[in-house]
């Protein structure tokens, strides 16, 4: 469906046309009419499907059609997100879509000086994008009021639950009027999400753009069996042999992200690390350098699995597999976005075998697994999964190194095989042996 057929105003259509958008994605086509009809919406949408426009475009349309109460600019829309990067990305989208509207928007999150944020809030904003910790901090400082919120959007709700934000979400709910429109977007319709939604939404329309937990069809996935100690050298070989110019690499811990980034840089591959212990300015600088091509490899913890919008990112590497299969989906969702192709490569140690099998069960497909000549793994290595909190499994925000929560508070906790859709690309060199046939 074309955007012009969805009932959006001309200024909004002009803005999205300038970005080159003419056709709505499935989640936009399904969600936008319900939002325009002022219905609460519970939406399931994978990363990279255009869900941000699915709630921001109709929200902008409605806000621009009505006058500000009593001529002031109170906060009329609140968008709550789990991470700083996602919050900043959403604000960028809103500013692009509202460039021909009289709408003020801003973002607040932790890790930076609050005073400039307070000063902007005092001038009045229509739309506020926020992470929970900083939002509640500024509310307690009486720097903002949520008493006139008309729209409440909870984005990446499943990630919010994982990061232990339930209590904060409930506190925010109590600060807003009961009469408002609520939109909840999540990658899954899990039992936990439905329970959360039941306390927020009123008779919601449920929309789902894709089958639950599917990965982008144009992302080619494959894996190499390798010993843990050999992983740095294997990664360096893959980058150099493939002449990769832009690679997003995921580790499970912040400490390992730092160590790997340092090793890559020493080997002549310009690299930067991004995780929750980095200051916001350092994270922003690393991401900007990566997008501009000044940094070849960005090493990240799972804080970057959602919220980083890197156009045409060609390669994602799971240096370590996550022990939660859904996190794999969000990691590789950084490539293959907006119809582009991409590659997702995983380096699998023996003790990550259980993680790989869990991912394959979720995807309902086998991930081709090979061995690289000269890096043959120890056939006697233990396949016992690494313990939580050690050097292996566990989500980054549960690790001993500290949480990745954006509000600057300690994190809480949360907790069919089918043939693969393709073989390795022809350009993979012949010294990568033991390539599986389809269905093996």
What one-character-per-residue DSSP string does 83-111 give?
A: SHHHHHHHHHHHHHHTTTS---EEEE-SS
Which CATH number is 316's domain given?
3.40.50.300
Contacts 24+ apart (CB under 8 A), 226-230: 226/347, 226/348, 226/349, 226/371, 226/372, 226/375, 226/377, 227/349, 227/350, 227/375, 227/377, 227/378, 227/381, 228/349, 228/351, 230/375, 230/377
Give the tens place of pLDDT for each residue, 145-159. 999 999 999 998 888
Sign (positive or negative) of CA dihedral 73, 74, 76, 77: positive
Q: What pLDDT shows up at residue 339?
A: 53
* 371 contacts 428 by C-beta, under 8 angstroms: no
Q: What percentage of the chain exceeds 70 in pLDDT? A: 81
Give the tens place of pLDDT for each residue, 228-246. 999 999 999 999 999 999 9
Four-CA torsion 99, 102, 103, 104, nearest 10 degrees: 90
Q: What pLDDT shows up at residue 68?
A: 63
Q: How far is CA 192 from CA 45, 160, 306, 402, in A?
A: 16, 11, 19, 25
Tokens standing for 145? 């009021």
Q: What pLDDT shows up at residue 388?
A: 55
Does residue 323 surpass a pLDDT of 60?
yes
The whole-number average pLDDT for the span 193-213 is 82
Give the tens place of pLDDT for each residue, 297-321. 999 988 655 656 676 788 999 999 9
Rounded Cα distance between 221 and 369, Å, is 10
Give the tens place of pLDDT for each residue, 208-222. 875 444 454 568 899
Does residue 408 surpass a pLDDT of 50?
no
Does residue 440 surpass a pLDDT of 50?
no
Identify whether residues 367 and 270 lie together within a single domain.
yes
The whole-number average pLDDT for the span 18-22 is 87
At 220, give phi and psi (nearest 5°).
-90, 125
Does residue 287 surpass a pLDDT of 70?
yes
* 330 contacts 47 by C-beta, under 8 angstroms: yes
> Does residue 214 belong to any structural domain of this protein?
no
Does residue 278 surpass a pLDDT of 90?
no
The whole-number average pLDDT for the span 346-370 is 92
Q: Rounded mean pLDDT of the chain?
A: 82
Higher pLDDT, 229 or 411: 229
Rounded Cα distance between 303 and 440, Å, is 34
Give the tens place of pLDDT for each residue, 27-77. 999 999 999 999 999 998 766 678 899 999 999 999 998 866 555 789 999
Identify whether residues 182 and 238 lie together within a single domain.
no
Q: Which of 208, 229, 263 is the last residue of a domain?
A: 208
24-33, 137-146, 284-293: range with lowest mean pLDDT: 284-293
Higher pLDDT, 438 or 150: 150
Q: Which of 177, 208, 239 is the last residue of a domain?
A: 208
Q: How many domains does the chain have?
A: 2
Identify whether residues 85 and 186 lie together within a single domain.
yes
As a residue count, the chain comes to: 440
Identify whether residues 361 and 232 lie together within a single domain.
yes
Identify whether residues 145 and 198 lie together within a single domain.
yes
Tell me which residue range forms the domain holding 325: 219-397+405-433
Tokens standing for 363? 């995807």
The whole-number average pLDDT for the span 244-270 is 93
- Name the 3-class secondary structure at 402: coil
pTM over 0.85: no
* 109 contacts 136 by C-beta, under 8 angstroms: no
Placement of tokens 């996190």 in the chain: 327
* 225 contacts 371 by C-beta, under 8 angstroms: yes
Kind and range of the H or E run holding 183: strand 181-186
Residue 426's CB is within 10 A of a number of other CB atoms, namely 5
Rounded Cα distance between 307 and 284, Å, is 13
266 — pLDDT class (breaks 50, 70, 90): very high
Identify whether residues 241 and 158 lie together within a single domain.
no
Q: How many helices (H) and strands (E) does the chain have?
A: 14, 15
Identify whether residues 393 and 421 lie together within a single domain.
yes
Identify whether residues 250 and 352 lie together within a single domain.
yes
Higher pLDDT, 414 or 101: 101
Q: What pLDDT shows up at residue 70?
A: 57
Identify whether residues 70 and 161 lie together within a single domain.
yes
Of 430, 316, 424, the C-alpha closest to 374 is 430
Rounded Cα distance between 114 and 327, Å, is 31
């Amino acid at each position: 469906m074309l955007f012009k057929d969805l009932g959006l105003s001309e200024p909004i259509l002009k803005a999205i046309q300038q970005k080159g958008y003419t056709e709505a994605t499935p989640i936009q086509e399904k969600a936008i009419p319900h939002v325009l009809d002022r219905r609460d919406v519970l939406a399931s949408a994978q990363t990279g499907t255009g869900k941000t426009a699915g709630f921001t475009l109709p929200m902008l349309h409605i806000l621009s059609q009505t006058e500000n109460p009593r001529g002031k600019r109170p906060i009329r829309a609140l968008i709550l997100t789990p991470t700083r990067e996602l919050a900043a990305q959403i604000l960028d989208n809103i500013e692009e879509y509202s460039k021909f509207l009289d709408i003020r928007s801003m973002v607040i999150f932790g890790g930076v000086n609050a005073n400039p944020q307070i000063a902007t809030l005092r001038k009045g904003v229509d739309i506020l994008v926020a992470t929970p910790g900083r939002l509640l901090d500024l509310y307690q400082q009486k720097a903002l009021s949520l008493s006139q919120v008309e729209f409440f959007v909870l984005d990446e709700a499943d990630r919010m639950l994982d990061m232990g934000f339930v209590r904060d979400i409930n506190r925010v709910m109590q600060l807003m009027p009961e009469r408002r429109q609520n939109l909840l977007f999540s990658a899954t319709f899990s039992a936990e999400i439905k329970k959360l939604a039941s306390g927020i939404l009123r008779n919601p329309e449920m929309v789902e753009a894709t089958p639950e937990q599917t990965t982008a069809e144009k992302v080619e996935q494959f894996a190499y069996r390798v010993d843990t100690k050999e992983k740095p050298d294997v990664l360096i070989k893959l980058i150099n042999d493939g002449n990769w110019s832009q690679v997003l690499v995921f580790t499970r811990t912040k400490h390992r992200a730092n160590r790997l980034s340092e090793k890559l840089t020493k080997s002549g591959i310009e690299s930067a690390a991004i995780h929750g212990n980095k200051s916001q300015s350092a994270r922003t600088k690393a991401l900007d350098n990566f997008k501009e091509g000044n940094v070849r490899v960005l090493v990240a913890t799972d804080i970057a699995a959602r919220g980083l919008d890197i156009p045409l990112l060609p390669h994602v590497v799971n240096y370590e597999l996550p022990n939660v299969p859904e996190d794999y989906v969000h990691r590789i969702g950084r490539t293959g976005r907006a119809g582009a192709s991409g590659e997702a490569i995983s380096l699998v140690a023996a003790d990550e075998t259980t993680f790989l099998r869990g991912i394959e069960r979720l995807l309902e497909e086998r991930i081709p697994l090979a061995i690289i000549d000269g890096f043959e793994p120890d056939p006697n290595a233990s396949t016992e999964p690494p313990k939580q909190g050690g050097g292996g499994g566990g989500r980054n925000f549960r690790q001993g190194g500290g949480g990745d929560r954006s509000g600057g508070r300690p994190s809480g906790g949360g907790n069919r095989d089918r043939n693969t859709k393709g073989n390795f690309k022809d350009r993979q060199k012949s010294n990568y042996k033991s390539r599986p046939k389809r269905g093996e």
